[in-house]
Amino acid sequence: MNMTPKAVVIGSLMVLTAVVLSVIVLPYADTSKTTASDIYRPRSADEAAGRKIYIANGCVYCHSQSIRSIDWGLGAERIAQAGDYIQDRPILLGSERSGPDLSQEGGEHPDDWHRGHFTNPRYTRPLSIMPAFAFLGDAAIRVLTNYVQSLGFKNADRRMARQRRWKKSAVTAYEAGPEANVKWLADHVPEGWRSVPNPYPTSAAGLARGHKIYQDFCLGCHGPVGDGMGPAQPHLYPPPLNFTILKGRGISGGILYYQIMNGITGTAMPYFKRELESEKIWDVGDYVAVYFINQSDANGKPRGIDAAYEP
Site for other proteins in 25-84 (CB under 8 A): 27-28, 30-32, 34, 55-62, 64, 66, 68-75, 80-82
Residue 30 vs 310, nearer CB to other proteins:
30
DSSP 74: G
Residue 30 vs 77, nearer CB to other proteins:
30
Taking CB under 8 A as the criterion, which residues in 245-284 touch other proteins?
Answer: 274-275
**Among 83, 128, 84, which Cα is nearest to 103's?**
84
Query: 67 forms bridges with which residues in the sheet?
Result: none
Secondary structure of residue 207 in the 3-state scheme: helix
Which amino acid belongs to residue 240? P
Angstrom CA distances, 66 to 70, 102, 154, 258, stand at 11, 8, 17, 30
3 binds other proteins (CB under 8 A): yes
Q: Which of 42, 100, 224, 248 binds other proteins (CB under 8 A)?
A: 100
Measured distance CA(94)–CA(27) in Å, rounded = 21
Q: Which of 103, 104, 120, 259 binds other proteins (CB under 8 A)?
A: 120
Residue 295 CB, nearest approach to other proteins (Å): 30
Q: Which of 43, 128, 237, 291 binds other proteins (CB under 8 A)?
A: 128
Residue 54 vs 200, nearer CB to other proteins:
54
Q: Any residues with CB less than 8 A from the CB of 245 and at least 6 apart, and which?
A: 178, 181, 182
Q: Which of 41, 42, 44, 127 binds other proteins (CB under 8 A)?
A: 127
**Quick one: which segment of 92-100, 160-168, 181-189, 193-201 binds other proteins (CB under 8 A)?**
92-100
Q: Which of 38, 46, 88, 179 binds other proteins (CB under 8 A)?
A: 88
CB 130 within 8 A of CB 62: yes
CA 25 to chain centre: 39
Angstrom CA distances, 7 to 4, 13, 92, stand at 5, 10, 39
Q: Which of 48, 49, 136, 225 binds other proteins (CB under 8 A)?
A: 136
Q: Any residues with CB less than 8 A from the CB of 104 and at least 6 apart, and which?
A: 67, 76, 77, 78, 151, 152, 155, 156
Taking CB under 8 A as the criterion, which residues in 145-204 touch other proteins?
Answer: none
Taking CB under 8 A as the criterion, which residues in 194-253 touch other proteins?
Answer: 216
Residue 140 vs 182, nearer CB to other proteins:
140
Q: Which of 38, 96, 175, 187 binds other proteins (CB under 8 A)?
A: 96
